[in-house]
């Protein structure tokens, strides 16, 4: 005699009696909300700690609100040089990092905050071949870089009601176009000392993010910039001055770049993780 039908008949009533099953435990790292941060502050203050020390403790623990932007590029963003155009730049992603629910909650509370770190995850590749003996290295002129686009009217959270699509020679070309069309937006200059590799002579309007490993196919790159340092894989940029430069209302632009005939840059996926502190 089989007891399986009897056991099966008992399972449904038992489930109804016990109620819904608890949700599965989270599999990823915990990311606090602004409410979580306020709660942690309140708990620390019960120890009669001064506010300055409370903030230092939370900073040391990197207990900051987080907002994440990500995109599988629907139409592969690419920059491909031609004989008549040996230097190419394409905007492949734009992020309004001061216009999201996390930052809105902080702003509504009347508290001021700043960006503590920006992390980038990029899946990209070059043209897949080289005529030089550089395969597998980062001696490349196929790379991604990051610009800060700023509203010059001084009015934060103003919408950007124009398209950034198109092929440019470099970010400096977009900066000039914004000025010519009187858009009241501009690209912020990076420190001259932050220039890397093929960026020389381009006007300092973007920070080098990541070079593509030569003829290595699609790779996933991780780069993290803070106010006083960086972490990244081989071929990544340092982001010198980038985080400290960010101001309320700024937008981040990710560029696909290629320079010199035959070089290409293809971007398939981008993720940006922004952490806000006080």
**pLDDT tens digits, the chain, 278 residues: what are they?**
554 454 445 445 434 544 565 555 556 678 899 999 999 999 999 999 999 999 999 999 999 999 999 987 655 567 777 767 789 999 999 999 999 999 999 999 999 999 999 999 999 999 999 999 999 999 999 999 999 999 998 876 777 878 898 889 999 999 999 998 888 999 999 998 898 889 988 889 999 999 999 999 999 999 999 999 999 999 999 999 999 999 999 999 999 999 998 999 999 999 999 999 98
Both 56 and 92 in one domain: the answer is no
Closest CA to 256 of 150, 151, 139, 166: 166
Are both 141 and 242 inside the same structural domain? yes
Q: Say if residue 135 is in the same domain as residue 220.
A: yes
* 148 and 117 in a common domain: yes
Asked whether residue 59 falls in the same domain as residue 76, the answer is no
Q: Which of 197, 178, 199 is nearest to 188 (CA)?
A: 178
Query: Domain boundary residue among 19, 48, 63?
Result: 63
Residue at 231 is within a domain: yes
Range of the domain at 192: 69-277
Quick check: is 47 in a domain?
A: yes
Q: What is the pTM of this model?
A: 0.86
> Is 9 part of any domain?
no
Pair (129, 37) in one structural domain: no
Q: Are residues 146 and 53 in the same domain?
A: no
In a domain, 206, yes or no: yes
Among candidate residues 40, 63, 86, the one where a domain is terminated: 63
CA distances from 214 to 6, 136, 145 (A): 64, 5, 17
Residue 271 lies in a domain: yes
* Residue 51 sits in the same domain as residue 115: no
Q: Looking at the structure, do residues 43 and 81 belong to the same domain, yes or no?
A: no
Is residue 187 assigned to a domain?
yes
Last residue of a domain, one of 13, 45, 63: 63
Does the residue 92 lie in any domain?
Answer: yes
| Number of domains observed in the structure of the chain | 2
What pLDDT does 146 receive?
Answer: 98
Residue 20 lies in a domain: no
202 and 164 within one domain:
yes
**pLDDT score at 83:** 65
237 and 123 together in one domain:
yes
Does 46 lie in the same domain as 137?
no
Contact 32, 63 (CB under 8 A): yes
Confidence at residue 15, expressed as pLDDT on a 0 to 100 scale: 46
Q: How many residues does the chain have?
A: 278
How many angstroms separate the CA atoms of 166 and 181, rounded?
15
């Amino acid at each position: 005699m089989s007891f399986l039908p009897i056991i099966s008949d008992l399972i449904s009533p038992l489930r109804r009696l016990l109620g819904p099953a608890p949700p599965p435990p989270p599999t990823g790292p915990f990311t606090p909300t602004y409410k979580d941060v306020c709660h942690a502050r309140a708990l620390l203050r019960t120890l009669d700690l001064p506010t300055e020390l409370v903030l230092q403790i939370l900073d040391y623990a990197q207990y900051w609100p987080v907002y994440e932007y990500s995109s599988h590029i629907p139409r592969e963003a690419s920059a491909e040089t031609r004989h008549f155009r040996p230097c190419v730049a394409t905007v492949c992603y734009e992020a309004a990092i001061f216009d999201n629910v996390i930052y809105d909650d902080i702003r509504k509370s009347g508290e001021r905050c700043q960006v503590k770190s920006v992390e980038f995850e990029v899946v990209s590749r070059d043209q897949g071949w080289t005529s030089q003996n550089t395969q597998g290295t980062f001696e490349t002129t196929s790379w991604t870089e990051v610009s800060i686009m700023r509203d010059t009217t001084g009015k934060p959270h103003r919408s950007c009601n124009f398209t950034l699509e198109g092929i440019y020679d470099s970010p400096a070309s977009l900066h000039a176009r914004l000025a010519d069309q009187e858009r009241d937006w501009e690209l912020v200059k990076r420190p001259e000392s932050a220039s890397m590799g093929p960026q020389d002579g381009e006007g300092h309007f973007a920070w080098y993010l990541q070079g593509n490993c030569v003829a290595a196919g699609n790779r996933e790159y991780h780069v993290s910039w803070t106010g006083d340092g960086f972490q990244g894989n081989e071929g990544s940029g340092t982001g010198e001055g980038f985080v400290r430069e960010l101001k309320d209302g700024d937008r981040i632009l990710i560029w696909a770049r290629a320079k010199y005939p035959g070089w290409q840059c293809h971007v398939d996926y981008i993720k940006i993780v922004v952490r806000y502190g006080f």
